[in-house]
């Protein structure tokens, strides 16, 4: 069976991910490289593992998490759909069973908030893990406090994010996204301005997993 380690070591995957990141960098977006993909892969696997999914489901969502942004090699627009098709072709070429590859395709194709919906456990875990990765290391430019006003809102929010992590509270049946933001750099309302639709999708994803989504910012429960 194809594993996430197999996918990470595949030469075609390495090339496509490098091309995807070069396009994202040229467009001036926040980092979507191996760092982001690896974090999303791990967190998505952690979510399914914590709710008691079978080990193979955990492995599949880790693969989906690692490949979820490869569509950026084609174009930023509709990258979820193009990435889904790329992933299916890569995984079947590697020898993955069609059904498993198709499930990963469906998860990747639904991870973006513009058109995505939680239509499977893989999709739901991938959505939450992807939206949870907010961090200052994703901002490419060396920024000083004096130049903060010239940044777009996505960069300001990420630059202010000191820490973010997602975890499943098995006692309360909650999936908790916990973020620490430097409010001297960015007010919490800026986070909601760009992430409100993403948080709505996370709530739907948690509902699909029969859990409640909780957002905590600076130790204050907001959702």
Dump pLDDT digits (tens) for 150-194.
556 667 777 777 888 999 999 999 999 999 988 887 788 877 777
pLDDT of the residue at 146: 40
pLDDT of the residue at 45: 98
pLDDT of the residue at 133: 86
Q: Which one is predicted more confidently, 32 or 54?
A: 54
Nearest to 68 by CA among 92, 85, 46: 85
Mean pLDDT throughout 80-93?
97
Diameter of the chain measured on Cα atoms: 53
From 74-88, 146-160, 190-204, the region with the lowest mean pLDDT:
146-160
Q: Which helix (H) or strand (E) holds 94?
A: helix 79-94
Q: Which one is predicted more confidently, 138 or 63?
A: 63
CA distances from residue 209 to 125, 128, 155, 166 in whole angstroms, order as listed: 8, 11, 31, 15
Domains and CATH numbers, the chain: 4-221 (1.10.3210.10)
Nearest to 205 by CA among 103, 133, 124: 124
DSSP class of 31: P
Q: Express each pLDDT in 95-147 by its tens digit.
A: 999 999 999 999 999 999 888 999 999 999 999 999 988 766 566 565 444 44
pLDDT of the residue at 211: 97
């Amino acid at each position: 069976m194809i594993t996430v380690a197999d996918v990470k070591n595949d030469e075609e995957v390495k090339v496509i991910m490098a091309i995807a990141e070069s396009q994202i960098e040229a467009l001036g977006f926040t980092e979507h490289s191996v760092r982001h993909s690896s974090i999303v892969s791990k967190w998505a696997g952690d979510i399914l593992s914590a709710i008691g999914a079978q080990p193979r489901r955990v492995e599949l969502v880790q693969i989906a998490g690692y490949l979820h942004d490869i569509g950026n090699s084609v174009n930023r627009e509709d990258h979820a759909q193009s990435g889904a098709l790329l992933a299916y072709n890569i995984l079947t070429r590697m020898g993955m069973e069609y059904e498993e590859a198709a499930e990963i395709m469906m998860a990747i194709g639904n991870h973006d908030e513009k058109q995505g919906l939680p239509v499977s456990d893989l999709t739901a875990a991938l959505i939450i893990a992807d939206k949870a990765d907010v961090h200052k290391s994703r901002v490419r430019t060396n920024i000083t406090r004096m130049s903060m006003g010239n940044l777009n809102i996505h960069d300001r929010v990420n630059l202010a994010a000191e820490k973010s992590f997602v975890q499943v509270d098995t006692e309360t049946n909650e999936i908790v996204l916990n973020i620490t933001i430097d409010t001297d750099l960015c007010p919490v309302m800026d986070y909601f301005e760009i992430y409100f639709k993403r948080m709505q999708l996370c709530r739907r994803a948690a509902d699909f997993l029969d859990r409640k989504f909780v957002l905590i910012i600076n130790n204050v429960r907001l959702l």
